[in-house]
Structure 1
Amino acid sequence: MKKRCLGTSDLYVSEIGLGCMSLGKEEPKARSILDEAIDLGINFLDTADLYDYGLNEEFVGKAIKHRRQNIILATKVGNRWEKGKEGWYWDPSKKYIKEAVKNSLKRLQTDYIDLYQLHGGTIDDPIEETIEAFEELKKEGVIRYYGISSIRPNVIKEYLNKSNIVSIMMQYSLLDRRPEEWFDLIEQHNVSVIARGPLAKGLLTERPLELANDQIKNDGYLSYTYAELKNVRQQLEKAFPNFTKTEIALKYVLSQSIVGAAIPGASNIDQLRENVQAAQAKAFTHDEIHKLKTITKANVYTNHRDA
């Protein structure tokens, strides 16, 4: 599988990574998906300490223990929780980050993390303190690089201006084009985008729209009504008869040079294989990309912007 470099780092990640959140709580099934992903050429695994309260990191750690050097391992921090207790709260403090990383390393059975990401963030956070924590962890050799996972423009701009992040994880798909407004600014800082949710909760796959949950049927998805979703899918089928919807979705996201990787989740091996195969489809031409943009909405973020 083709690889791309994240920002100014020396992390070369597979174009399709694996978002591990959907692996589930059954270890044999999770391990089979992780093993298959690596066998298919995926070297970029993204987890978080919050996923199933550490269990997800444990599964990933066991799966990569004997081949750690071949994996680009990413995890996240900031949502504080205690074992045995429900719920969590936001804590981007330096003290907590430096405590949490030790627990992640233990669960992941490794002595370093390739990409450590802040799992959210607000403009009211002690941002300088948070950055200081990441920079110290880099100097200590505990992490190689750091990034943020955020869709808040005001937070993104702060980290672009004040930190050495190499990546920003953002929800990005043909049905959620809000990040595109910020691509030029992000690119000016030599930072990569990691695209989560590129299949838009399965709306951009071969799964029949009629099987969508009641919330989507009643409320739609982001700025799309259910009727609009149906119309978009029909237009995609008509305009691109030689592509599956999964191919269209992933190749569109990957057509953006700023995107370092797309990280769809997979709750079974069939989904995983479909995602990897879709990445092998031919690249879109400039005209085809323009057509895709005319079919979908150029929606933008309305909240968390500068006044």
Structure 2
Amino acid sequence: MRKRVLGATGITVSELAFGGVEIGLPYGIGVKGAEDMLSEPEAIHLLHAATDSGVTFFDTARLYGASETIMGKAFRDRRSQVVIGTKCRHLRDGNGELPDGDMLKKIIKTSLLESLTALQTDYVDVFMLHQADLGILANEDLPRIFADLKAQGAIRSTGVSTYSVEETQKAIESGVWDVIQLPFNLMDQRQAALFAQAREKGVGIVIRSVLLKGLLTSKGQQLHPALVDVENHIRRFDELVQEPVPDLSTLAIRFALAFPEVSSILVGIDKLAYLHQALAAVNGPELSTETADQAKKLAYPNPAFLDLPHWDRMGWLT
């Protein structure tokens, strides 16, 4: 497994990061409830298989159900072998308001303590704001709170999870955050415009949604009628699937890793077969410049429509 440095943090991570949401709660196409998920022993076995295969970077969150607890049980005897990133609870209240400084500090510290307890560790390598919108990124208390946690040794680096290009740009320009986790894939390539700026600022880039919640795999067929244009556009990438690129998911993974500014890519994994597929994609030959350039030209023309949370709410992914 090839490794890359996570921005200016000094932390080295595997190119493949294990996305932990699927082992913690029902998530993804065709997953409707606990009956469609791995049992805890099966999930622990999967995490061990990942580490045994060279994966060192694991992503989770306080809001990912049992994910942190399962990782804690899996890694309590392997803590030195893994880099763990987790995200704190959402900061906005039921009315969408941000609490004041003292309450913010309490929420964040309580969330971190809960994560440390569940993960059975006394530190996390990357501690992130979950869904950091523009208002949250403008808050003047948050940098100080996270800096204090870093100084105390409870976290090794700070990070934010963003959605929009505007959020990512604000996070980079602030000079506050060590790592940014952002959405990027074959269909939605908007964030690539900021990769060079992130590298100049020493900010580590971690990509999520690289498989577009499974749509850039064999699952991305016979979709809801509302997504017919999306499905038709996905099929345009099939022309790039030829040796040494065996399938669409491999193309998606290698395309994201073709950007040197990217430190690691998150792939949601809830089956041993999916782990093996992701490993084969990452450990195989790098994408040729010609294929990468062709893929860049095939980005979806209306990326604003690629709103997965909205699709979920509409029931288009079930």
TM-score range normalised by the length of the shorter chain: 0.7 to 0.9
Q: CA deviation at 1:34?
A: 0.8
The equivalent residue for 1:14 is 14
* 2:23 is the alignment partner of 1:41: no
Work out the number of aligned pairs and report it: 286
Q: Percentage identity across aligned positions?
A: 27
Q: 1:254 aligns with which of 252, 257, 273?
A: 257
Q: CA deviation at 1:241?
A: 4.2
| Structural RMSD (CA) | 2.5
What is the DSSP-based 3-state SS (H/G/I as helix, E as strand, rest coil) of the residue aligned with 1:21?
A: coil
Q: TM-score, normalised by structure 2?
A: 0.82
* 2:162 is the alignment partner of 1:160: no
Cα distance in 2 for partners of 1:155, 1:128 equals: 16
Letter paired with 1:114: D
* 2:80 is the alignment partner of 1:69: yes
Cα distance in 2 for partners of 1:301, 1:270 equals: 32
Q: CA deviation at 1:89?
A: 7.2
The equivalent residue for 1:218 is 226
Closer, same or farther: CA 234–285 of 1 in aligned 2, 3 Å? closer
Letter paired with 1:257: P
* 2:179 is the alignment partner of 1:179: no
The equivalent residue for 1:284 is 287
The equivalent residue for 2:140 is 128
What is the DSSP-based 3-state SS (H/G/I as helix, E as strand, rest coil) of the residue aligned with 2:134?
A: coil
Could you tell which deviates more after superposition, 159-168 or 113-122? 159-168
Q: 1:189 aligns with which of 178, 184, 201?
A: 201
Closer, same or farther: CA 153–59 of 1 in aligned 2, 3 Å? same
Cα distance in 2 for partners of 1:77, 1:69 equals: 22
Q: Residues 187 and 298 of structure 2 are in contact (CA less than 8 Å); yes or no, is this contact kept in structure 1? A: no
Cα distance in 2 for partners of 1:186, 1:299 equals: 25
Letter paired with 2:294: K
Query: Please, which runs of 5 or more residues in structure 2 have no aligned partner?
Result: 26-38, 306-318
The equivalent residue for 1:2 is 2
Letter paired with 1:249: A
Letter paired with 1:45: F
Closer, same or farther: CA 89–32 of 1 in aligned 2, 3 Å? farther
Q: 2:267 aligns with which of 258, 264, 268?
A: 264
What is the DSSP-based 3-state SS (H/G/I as helix, E as strand, rest coil) of the residue aligned with 2:125?
A: strand
Cα distance in 2 for partners of 1:90, 1:23 equals: 31
Q: CA deviation at 1:260?
A: 0.5
Q: CA deviation at 1:21?
A: 0.3
Q: Residues 24 and 64 of structure 2 are in contact (CA less than 8 Å); yes or no, is this contact kept in structure 1? A: no
Cα distance in 1 for partners of 2:220, 2:130 equals: 32
Summarize the alignment of residues 26-37 of structure 1 with structure 2, pairs less than 5 Å apart. 26-37=39-50
Letter paired with 2:298: I
Q: CA deviation at 1:103?
A: 1.1
Could you tell which deviates more after superposition, 4-13 or 158-167? 158-167
Cα distance in 1 for partners of 2:255, 2:143 equals: 32
Q: Residues 88 and 130 of structure 2 are in contact (CA less than 8 Å); yes or no, is this contact kept in structure 1? A: yes
Q: CA deviation at 1:166?
A: 1.9
Cα distance in 2 for partners of 1:195, 1:292 equals: 17
